[in-house]
Amino acid sequence: MSMRFLKNCLLIILFLVVIHFWLKTKSYRFSKEDVVKIGEKYAGREIQQAFQKIASELQEHYPGHILPTKHREWVMYKYSGMTLSMTILHASLTEYVLLFGSALDTDGYLGRHWLNCTMLLLSGSVKYWKEGDIEAIEYKIGDSFTFHSGSTGCLGWKANTWVLEYGRGFLPMSMPAIISDGLFTSFDVIGIFKMFRAFGVAYYYELKSEIGSFISSI
């Protein structure tokens, strides 16, 4: 085993330790409780109306941090066997807010992520089979549940299930898992491009907002 290999391993470990410390000590823009509370108000409504109301109310609570309608797009993607469609309301290195779901029955394995993700059902139903359990739990309209960092399981979606999701953690570590199915299974290069474009626009908008806030505070 070469010294170069050991050095690279130590650098990777150091990087992960620094990121872990940063995630534990930094302040976050969004409150999980606030996002869930807003979603609960519109769960069960006509879904397009619910999407609009949720985005509008989140913009009121977090002005300048919700992507404007003109910059949002729906992206269909394949993830761990699931076929889903999503639109990004907010994305940064450590937080995201999404609306996503499926018009068809679909299921798949979640994998493990450096994220805590809370999902609120706006329509339909989802079954979550958690690692270590022998039965799946069904969640319906208005229910919310959380996937914790490092945990895994399977999700089974009923047709026309749509959710609001808030995640907190180190999002870049999850990008390979998000794009790999579309890239290596369905070879959807255009879909991968749309995914990167959607996240890129959201990152740019958030960075611009943060810079503007910093300048105005000087």
SS3 27: coil
- Work out how many domains the chain is built from and give that number: 1
State the average pLDDT over residues 77-95: 92
pTM of the model: 0.89
pLDDT for res 111: 85
Q: Could you tell me which residue, 184 or 143, shows the higher pLDDT?
A: 143
pLDDT for res 75: 94
Q: Report whether 50 contacts 160 (CB < 8 A).
A: no
> Looking at the domain assignment, is residue 18 inside a domain?
no
For residue 113, what are the domain limits?
30-217
pLDDT for res 129: 95
- The model's pLDDT over 109-159, given as tens digits with 9 standing for 90+, comes to 988 888 899 999 999 999 999 999 999 999 999 999 999 988 999 999 999
SS in 3 state form for 153-186?
Answer: EEEEECCCEEEEEEEEECHHHHHHHHHHHHHHCC
pLDDT at 212 over 70: no
> Looking at the domain assignment, is residue 3 inside a domain?
no
pLDDT at 184 over 90: no
> Looking at the domain assignment, is residue 25 inside a domain?
no
pLDDT for res 215: 66
Q: Report whether 40 contacts 166 (CB < 8 A).
A: no
- CA-angle at 138, arms to 137 and 141, nearest 5°: 145
> Looking at the domain assignment, is residue 15 inside a domain?
no
pLDDT at 7 over 70: yes
Banded model confidence at residue 2, pLDDT cuts 50, 70, 90: confident
> Looking at the domain assignment, is residue 108 inside a domain?
yes
How confident is the prediction for the chain on average, in pLDDT?
Answer: 90
Distances (CA, A) of 54 to 38, 69, 128: 7, 12, 24
- The model's pLDDT over 38-77, given as tens digits with 9 standing for 90+, comes to 999 999 999 999 999 999 999 999 998 999 999 999 999 8
Banded model confidence at residue 1, pLDDT cuts 50, 70, 90: low
For residue 54, give the CATH number of its domain: 2.60.120.10
> Looking at the domain assignment, is residue 6 inside a domain?
no
State the average pLDDT over residues 151-170: 95
> Looking at the domain assignment, is residue 8 inside a domain?
no
pLDDT at 214 over 60: no
> Looking at the domain assignment, is residue 14 inside a domain?
no
